[in-house]
Structure 1
Amino acid sequence: MDDCIFCKIIQGAIPSTQIYEDERVMAFHDIEPQAPVHMLVIPKKHIASMAEAEPDDAELMGHVLLTAQRIAREAGLEETGYRIINNCGKNAGQLVFHIHFHVLGGEKLGGLNSKG
């Protein structure tokens, strides 16, 4: 998409602090971190949100989540824990309409049921 900031990052038109890249995904640090460690994982294929993902995207979405696991491990978050978040739609807080997953950690994260 011509006006998608994440597509522009993938194309190299907008700089990012890249953590990981392969032929299907890219990961980079969030420019407005909400935790000491805040990274984003995005597929290179433009999919507006989880609501737009198709059954044919299942393998790609699995790869995105395994990439989130990988970068969390490489960031040293595996032992203390981390959160993976996907906001789907405006009311859920999605600001960029290119599916992406936030990986947060580096401190005790609050806000969700602590029993979960």
Structure 2
Amino acid sequence: MTDPDPAETLFEKIIAREIPADIVHETATTLAFRDISPQAAVHVLIVPKTRYRNVGELASADPALLAELLTTAHHVAELEGLVDGGYRVVFNTGADAGQTVFHVHAHVLGGEQLGHFGRYETQQAQ
């Protein structure tokens, strides 16, 4: 598959501080910042500073970095006060799953009751 976004991504520009973002947390290898179109009361994106197109590519190339991404996601949940009530971590992989920026990123969502998602549960309710 050809990369639909071969040039520098939006996230790379945020990492380079070329585009402003509301940064929540940063490590040597990850950056966490608020989503500009939040889907929950708290919606933070966690990106590795090294570009991988999706979570599968990252898992194959650098499992330790994937583990750090998830550790950072949990730390952000702690910073945002989400741990006791619960939070969701989501990776969208590919256009059909809703991935629009082809630089792997985790969504940390919480701060309110999150609904179920996916077509299966929608069809079951009908």
Query: Scaled by the length of structure 1, what TM-score is found?
Result: 0.92
Matched residue, 1:81: 86
Identify the range of structure 1 (104-113 vs 39-48) with the bigger mean alpha-carbon deviation. 104-113
Q: Give, in whole Å, the separation in 1 of the partners of 2:110 and 2:55.
A: 23
Partner of 2:11, secondary structure, is: helix
Corresponding residue of 1:49? 54
Instruction: Tell me how many residue pairs correspond in the alignment.
Output: 113
Aligned mates of 2:72, 2:111 — CA distance in 1: 18
Instruction: Please say if 1:97 is aligned against 2:102.
Output: yes
Does the aligned pair in 1 maintain the 2:53–2:103 contact within 8 Å? Answer: yes
Rounded to whole Å, the distance in 1 between the matches of 2:19 and 2:78 is 26
Measure, in 1, the Cα distance between the counterparts of 2:36 and 2:104. 17
Q: Amino acid of the residue matched to residue 47 of structure 1?
A: Y
Output aligned runs, 1:55-66, within 5 Å: 55-66=60-71
Superposition misfits of 4+ residues, deviation over 6 angstroms? none
TM-score by length of structure 2 reads 0.85
Give the greater-gyration-radius structure (CA): 2
- What is the Cα deviation at residue 51 of structure 1? 3.1
The gaps in structure 2 that reach 5 residues or longer are 1-5, 122-126
Question: Which structure 2 residues correspond to residues 35-46 of structure 1 after superposition, within 5 A?
Answer: 35-46=40-51
Structure 1, gaps ≥5 residues long: none
C-alpha deviation, 1:22, in angstroms: 1.5
Distance in 1, Cα, partners of 2:107 & 2:24? 13
Q: Displacement of 1:61 after TM fit?
A: 0.4
Correspondence for 2:14: 9
SS in 2 for 1:61: helix
- In the alignment, is the contact (CA less than 8 A) between 2:77 and 2:83 conserved in 1? yes
